[in-house]
Structure 1
Amino acid sequence: MRISTATMYDQGIASMNRQQNDFLKVSQQIASGRRVVNPSDDPQAASRAVGVDQARAVTQQFADARVSARNSLAQGESVLNSVGDAITSAKTLLVQASSDTLSDVDRQSVASELRGIYETLVGQANATDGNGRYLFGGYQDDSPPFARTSGEGVSGVTYKGDDNTRAQRIDASRLMPVADNGETIFQSVPSGAGYVARAERTGGDSIGTQAGFDRNQGSVTFKGPSRVDPDDPDYGRGMTLTFSITGGTPSVAVEDEDGNPIPVSGSLGTDGEATTLQFGGVSLTLSGLPADGDQIQLRPADHSDANQDLFKSLKDAIDVLEMDQQGLDENRAHVRNTLSSTMRELDNSLDNVLTVRASMGARLNELDVVDSVGGNRMLNYEQTLSDLVDLDYAEAIGDYSLRQVGLQASQKAFADMKGMSLFNYL
């Protein structure tokens, strides 16, 4: 078969071009560190690499979301730590103020300190994160969640946020709450917190008492209530003790919130000495003499009619400590009873704050676990992506040398071939 000179030239040039192209391809791989520089290099690996890279990007987004969630939870936990310390300080001051050795001036000094704690708690309740968003307003985080109010029978602070809990997706299957709303923290108590008593009678709407209630007129004071029999059929219901005076002898009747009578064990004396009554699975120790119509309201701490507002509890204590007792037994009784109620309400509020804080701590721990899982997942993605598209340098360098030799050989062969001519022998 006769091969023309033109054909030999074309095949030689084509061979050099192929060798040069292969040499250039290996050079690009070494320069980029990737085996798959273009999708055409390995279509299947390139397609799988796109999917893995997208999954890696989503995992990185979740990692960034966890950073934001951790910042929010850490700031909220820090604020609740300060709130817990403030409640503990307030409780200490109330124990001090309960002493009968204090004068009105001393109690007013304690009230001044309590007012400072009150202002601190309002400020903490309206705390913001580093971006100006309010931590405890739910999804209404662009304005202070707690606003000042004025008027009688109110706490002085009203919650203006919503009842939602701001959440953030930290993983494909986990939507985590990152900021509890202020109502849950400052105006709630844990379920099963027990009873809280308030010495108030149904009537007007006085400063320092709940709306719809007025001060008692007698000097009766209480300690408790204490749980005696949680299996009692009336335990857990709201109860009201109503005092009456017949012929100078006081008596007491207990009714549940529906007006049904509840049996009472124990009786009142006429000398004002301490006596313990048992009813509805609880006991209550009474001292002093009641006036006709005086009442003591007992409500489970999580009852809708019970005070669950931390700010109102402090304001009630401040109001009675600033009151001039004027040597009147009924005024002293009102101060003791209010302080007793407030201390129990503060205990419940502190328990609630600690519960929410513990929940935040648990979520911070969960973030650490999810971070660890996410980190391992990222390593797996990196390894898979490396296996698909990254370059084996040892193999590539060997291939580079081989392609270089092939290119040089094709160039030498073409140079020798073009020198072959019959004219050299004429």
Structure 2
Amino acid sequence: MRISTVTMYEQSTASINRQQSDFLKVSQQIASGRRVVNPSDDPQAASRAVGVDQSKAITQQYEDSRVSARNSLAQTESILNSISDAVTSAKTLLIQASSDTLSDVDRESIASELKGVYETMIGQANATDGNGRYIFGGYKDDAPPFVKSATGNVEYNGDTNSRLQRVDASRLMPVTENGATIFQGVPSGAGYISEANVANQGNVTFSGPQVTNVNDPDYGESFRVLFGEDGDGNPTYSVEQFDSDGGTWQPVAGLNDQPYDVAGEQLSFGGVNLSLKGTPAVGDEILVAQSGSEQRPADLFRTMEAAIRVLETPAESAAQKAALRNTLNTSMRDLDNALDNVLTVRASAGAKLNELDVIDAVGNNRMLNYEQTLSDLVDLDYVDAISEYSLRQVGLQAAQKAFVDIKGMSLFDFM
């Protein structure tokens, strides 16, 4: 078989080019630290690497989202801590104001201090985050959620939603609480509260109510005590129960137009006891209902307003002194419920912060797994690469030497 000189040159050149290409490929791998420099190097690994890269990017986005959620929850928790301190301070002031040794001037001084606590609560309720959004307005976060009406009462203008944020593929977490939940809500265990009608003219004061039987069939319903008088001018009382179906008050059997003892009367209905003392006026009314019910909605700001108003009013007559004592008793119970509610919401925020820590740990492990998978797919094994580099270098040198030797072989050298 005759091999032409052209064929020998072409094969030798092709061998050198092939060795140079392999040598260059290994050089690029060593320089980049990657086994798969181009998709053509390993199409299957390159395709899987794209999917892993996308998963890493999504995991990183969730991590950034958790940072934002943690900042919101931490700020919420800090504000709720300040509010709980303010409620505790208000309760302390009301206990101080309940002393019979205080004068009207002393109570007015306490009312002035209570106003400062009240304004602090409003300021905290209208707090904003770092982006200027109102934290407790729900999704209506572009305006203050709590504003004073023309009558001077604070009203809630936000919505009842909580802003949600995706912190993981399977977790959509509330990162704020709405103001209605915090300032107009009560804990699930909130009990009965008594409240005297502001229009009462008598001097009846109450103590309680005290729960005696939670298994009573009427426990949890709303009641009211109405005062009147019999034909001889003696005071009487009647107890009515609110019918939620009909929306009306209905007399309680056996407690209608009963004689009332001004020296002290013990009433029992619906699984609760209510102690009364003092002389009522015809038409006076005392409401007994669970806090947060339709007949006795919870509102921390209304509680503060009522307490400030009664402390600023001179307690000269027996009726005014009774109104002072009844309002302070009701307000202190309301503040207890408000504090329990704020602490419950704060505990919820703390639980979410702990949950974020757990999700972070899971996310970090997931990210490590992605990085390890990506490394297994495309990263370079330097030991194998350096060995391959040396081998390709020897192969290229051998191809070059063989070409030189073949080029020098000619019959004319032997003639």
Tell me if both proteins adopt one fold, taking TM over 0.5 as the criterion: yes
Deviation digits for residues 313-336 of structure 1 (CA, Å, limit 9, x no counterpart):
0001000100112x2000010111
- 2:30 is the counterpart of 1:33: no
- 2:240 is the counterpart of 1:251: no
Does the 8 Å contact 2:234/2:259 carry over to 1?
no
Q: Give the corresponding residue for 1:402.
A: 391
SS in 1 for 2:263: coil
1:276 CA drift (Å):
2.2
Does the 8 Å contact 1:264/1:278 carry over to 2?
no
- 2:207 is the counterpart of 1:223: yes
Q: Give the corresponding residue for 1:187.
A: 184
Structure 1 unaligned regions, length at least 5: 201-213
> 1:261, 1:180 → 2: CA distance?
40
SS in 2 for 1:60: helix
Deviation digits for residues 140-186 of structure 1 (CA, Å, limit 9, x no counterpart):
112211112122xxx71111111111000111111111101111111
> 1:343, 1:264 → 2: CA distance?
29
> 2:95, 2:353 → 1: CA distance?
35
Deviation digits for residues 32-86 of structure 1 (CA, Å, limit 9, x no counterpart):
1110011110111111111111111111111111111111111101100110010
2:269 to 279, 290, 309: 279
- 2:100 is the counterpart of 1:100: yes
Deviation digits for residues 181-221 of structure 1 (CA, Å, limit 9, x no counterpart):
11111111123411111111xxxxxxxxxxxxx42000101
> 2:379, 2:413 → 1: CA distance?
53
Distance 1:267 1:352, change over 3 A: farther
Code of the residue aligned with 2:200 in structure 1: it is: N
Distance 1:399 1:370, change over 3 A: same
Code of the residue aligned with 2:302 in structure 1: it is: K
Q: Give the corresponding residue for 1:379.
A: 368
> 1:349, 1:150 → 2: CA distance?
25
- Superposed, 1:226-237 pairs within 5 Å as 226-237=210-221
> 2:354, 2:187 → 1: CA distance?
22
2:172 to 172, 175, 181: 175
Q: Give the corresponding residue for 1:268.
A: 260
Code of the residue aligned with 2:16 in structure 1: it is: M
**RMSD of aligned alpha carbons:** 1.5
> 1:397, 1:347 → 2: CA distance?
74
1:260 CA drift (Å):
2.4
1:264 CA drift (Å):
4.5
- 2:293 is the counterpart of 1:303: yes
Q: Give the corresponding residue for 1:209.
A: none
Q: Give the corresponding residue for 1:163.
A: 160
- Superposed, 1:24-423 pairs within 5 Å as 24-151=24-151, 156-200=153-197, 214-246=198-230, 247-258=232-243, 259-262=249-252, 263-264=254-255, 268-269=260-261, 272-325=262-315, 327-423=316-412
> 1:175, 1:267 → 2: CA distance?
59
> 1:148, 1:30 → 2: CA distance?
71
SS in 2 for 1:179: coil
SS in 2 for 1:260: strand
1:414 CA drift (Å):
1.0
How many residues in Structure 1 have an aligned counterpart in Structure 2? 407
Structure 2 unaligned regions, length at least 5: 244-248
> 2:167, 2:177 → 1: CA distance?
16
Does the 8 Å contact 2:195/2:286 carry over to 1?
yes
Does the 8 Å contact 2:127/2:136 carry over to 1?
yes
Does the 8 Å contact 1:215/1:334 carry over to 2?
no
SS in 2 for 1:130: coil
> 2:119, 2:385 → 1: CA distance?
71
1:416 CA drift (Å):
1.7
SS in 1 for 2:91: helix
Code of the residue aligned with 2:353 in structure 1: it is: L
1:268 CA drift (Å):
3.1
Q: Give the corresponding residue for 1:208.
A: none
1:261 CA drift (Å):
2.2
> 1:359, 1:56 → 2: CA distance?
30
Code of the residue aligned with 1:93 in structure 2: it is: L
Deviation digits for residues 201-244 of structure 1 (CA, Å, limit 9, x no counterpart):
xxxxxxxxxxxxx4200010111111011122221111010111
> 2:134, 2:285 → 1: CA distance?
41
SS in 2 for 1:391: coil
Identity %: 64
